[in-house]
Amino acid sequence: MEAILGQIEAYRKEIEAFEIGNAAQLEEYRIKYLGTKGIVKALFGEMRNVPTERKKEFGQVLNDFKQFAEGRYESARDTAGSSPAASASSIDLSLPGDPLPAGSRHPISLVRNRIIGIFQRLGFAVADGPEVEDDWHNFTALNLPENHPARDMQDTFYISQNPDWLLRTHTSNVQIREMEKGKLPIRIICPGRVYRNETISARAHCFFHQVEGLYIDEHVSFADLKQTLYFFVQELYGKDVKVRFRPSYFPFTEPSAEMDVSCFICGGPGCRVCKQTGWVEILGCGMVHPTVLENCGIDPAKYTGYAFGMGIERITMLQYGINDLRLFSENDVRFLRQFTGAV
Ligand code: PHE
């Protein structure tokens, strides 16, 4: 009896030292101790050789040992079973862990979120729409009928499967879709990716990102447009920023304008960013053309509205002094990790 108790003690030490570092060793362990011809089973077989008055004591020792052997198996299975390399005994818990580098937001996302945040505070809702669009929502409804020369302002990717489909050239398609729903008033901004068939260079890419905005209600005026956009750039560049509106042309707005802000780098005298003019162009805007309202089933005699659109890349480049558009889509972490904070 004493001999067998000593033997069990020795097995315990053996189990403690048993190296289970991979699935094969785990199986070896299982067969040796817990298998049908294993040590635990064999020890239970010894029961009949134990004197009756010590059977109870021996039974307890055996059960204890069995639990111990199974416990070792279960904890080793959690590590060794799933990763062949890891072994409970080969892990040095005192070593420092592998650092997981924290990611950072893409600069386009940072600026987009900032723009969205400003307009949301003014009560604009974010609206979304398809990037593969039909001709109606990207062009015709926006007062750009077929063969209209203004279509050349936006070189377009067409889908060869169906000549009516294209990659949207602006997010104005979302505005059309929103107006077609017929629920007024509308106060939305439409952030998203847009596509234009341009030769890739430092200043042009085949896709970029926009935020466009639309407000339609009774009595909306150009004064509302100016005040809203003025508030927007003050939030973006600070209270001292000045704005100016230059007459422009878009088929879907009348009157139309380009909005410039006073150069936030030099503050006026002229520098490289503003090309020595003191002004930086940041968006296009105007009052929604009555034909566009009619195309969407809205009565232009009752409702008016304004729209605006800006390129996020352009604002981001100006903001951070980035001089090559391609950097945004090359995914070079040395570039991307520089933009960790808010704009
Ligand atoms: N859709 C125009 C573009 O992509 C931008 C714009 C939107 C201009 C709304 C005026 C009004 O160029």
Q: Where are the domains of the chain?
A: 2-89, 107-339
pLDDT-derived band at 342, boundaries 50, 70, 90: very low
Atom of ligand 1 nearest to the CA of 212: 7
Residue 82 has pLDDT above 60, yes or no: no
**Mean of the per-residue pLDDT values of the chain:** 92
Atom of ligand 1 nearest to the CA of 310: 5
309 CA → ligand 1 middle, Å: 5
Quick check: CB of 250 below 6 Å from ligand 1?
yes
Beta bridge partners of 200: none
By three-state DSSP, how is residue 215 classified? strand
211 CA → ligand 1 middle, Å: 9
Does the predicted TM-score (pTM) go above 0.85?
A: no
Token representation of residue 26: 């785990």
Which fold is adopted by the domain 107-339?
Answer: BirA Bifunctional Protein; domain 2 (3.30.930)
Rounded to whole angstroms, how far apart are CA atoms 321 and 19?
Answer: 58
195 CA → ligand 1 middle, Å: 14
Rounded to whole angstroms, how far apart are CA atoms 143 and 15?
Answer: 82
Residue closest by Cα to atom 4 of ligand 1: 170
339 CA → ligand 1 middle, Å: 28
pLDDT-derived band at 158, boundaries 50, 70, 90: very high
Least confident residue range of 81-90, 104-113, 133-142, 287-296 = 81-90
